[in-house]
């Protein structure tokens, strides 16, 4: 059951719904707060605060039910989602004048251009994919990726045959931390971005940081990283495949990671992970 708490003084009783100066926005089934906020170049919780004057998740759920007509959940019943909301109510409000997007100078344009040139003049079979990835980073699209070597299960997880476990000496995320902190796709979405170096609080890598700040950018590094990203996709699919003994045995944290990747793959703009789907396997 969705967690709900009735606010002490709801916004509609204070004349704050709809929020003054807001632009009406009919939510789509595919929307969530973070997608809408990203399009508006604002923080997701600032958008929630603009609508409901609260940062308490349980109160947000109450408002979503009462004011937006939400009745369904995407995260196992913890929070309401916009999908299937009451057609008579399904709208939120956006700030009247969105703040301008933050300046986004790219500190690594020369390195990126050089790598693009190397890829363009190569005979690599994945040339189209690599150029798509580089273009996504150049355009400041979502470049979050997950390497399988970082999240591969150890002996404490029961994974079916065909799912590659951790190797000796690999620096992996702590299994207890993963179990405790990752329960929904939102938990993955809110993680800080790493640069490929081992961290105790994230396994989500900012690909441009990895390529241009940690590694020495080259087509060889792109090949190796692509293999790791694809392996994450393949291994999670195998784990969730019932015919291979997966599905029911897949831990909640790995299900959340798989859903995060699925949403990245199906994004409407060319994110780095989306490039892998649109250019074939």
Percentage with pLDDT > 90 across the chain: 56
Q: Output the pTM of the full model.
A: 0.60
pLDDT tens sequence across 230-257: 999 999 999 987 554 445 678 999 999 9
Task: Check residue 235 and give its pLDDT.
Answer: 93
CB 232 within 8 A of CB 204: no
Task: Check residue 201 and give its pLDDT.
Answer: 86
- pLDDT at residue 269 above 90? no
pLDDT tens sequence across 150-198: 999 888 888 888 888 886 655 578 888 999 999 999 999 999 998 888 8
Structure tokens that stand for 84 in this block: 């299937």
Eight-class DSSP state of 30:
T
Rounded CA-CA distance 178/32 in Å is 24
Task: Check residue 245 and give its pLDDT.
Answer: 46
CB 166 within 8 A of CB 154: yes
* Exposure letters 60-80 (e unless 16+ CB within 10 A, then b): bbbbbbbbbbbeebbbeebbb
pLDDT tens sequence across 75-132: 889 999 999 999 999 999 999 875 666 665 556 778 889 999 999 999 999 999 999 9
């Amino acid at each position: 059951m969705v967690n709900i708490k009735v606010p002490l003084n709801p916004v509609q009783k204070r004349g704050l719904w709809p929020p003054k100066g807001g632009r009406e926005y009919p939510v789509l089934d595919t929307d969530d707060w973070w997608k809408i906020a990203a399009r508006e170049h604002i923080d997701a919780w600032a958008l929630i605060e603009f609508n409901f004057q609260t940062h308490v998740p349980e109160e947000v759920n109450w408002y979503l039910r009462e004011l937006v007509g939400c009745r369904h959940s995407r995260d196992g019943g913890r929070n309401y989602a916009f999908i299937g909301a009451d057609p008579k109510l399904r709208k939120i409000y956006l700030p009247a004048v969105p703040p301008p997007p933050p300046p986004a100078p790219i500190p690594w344009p020369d390195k990126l251009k050089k790598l693009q040139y190397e890829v363009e003049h190569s005979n690599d079979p994945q040339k189209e994919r690599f150029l798509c990835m580089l273009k996504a980073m150049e355009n400041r699209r979502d470049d979050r990726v997950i390497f399988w070597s970082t999240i591969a299960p150890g002996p404490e997880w029961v994974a079916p045959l065909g799912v590659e476990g951790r190797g000796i000496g690999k620096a992996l995320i702590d299994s207890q931390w993963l179990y405790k902190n990752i329960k929904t796709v939102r938990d993955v979405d809110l993680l800080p971005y790493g640069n490929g170096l081992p961290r105790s609080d994230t396994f989500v890598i900012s690909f441009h940081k990895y390529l241009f700040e940690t590694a020495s950018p080259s087509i060889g590094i792109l090949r190796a990283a692509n293999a790791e990203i694809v392996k994450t996709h393949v291994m999670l699919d195998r784990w969730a495949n019932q015919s291979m003994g997966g599905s029911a045995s897949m831990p909640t944290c790995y299900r959340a990671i798989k859903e995060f990747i699925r949403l990245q793959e199906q994004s409407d703009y060319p994110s780095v992970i989306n490039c892998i789907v649109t250019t074939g396997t």
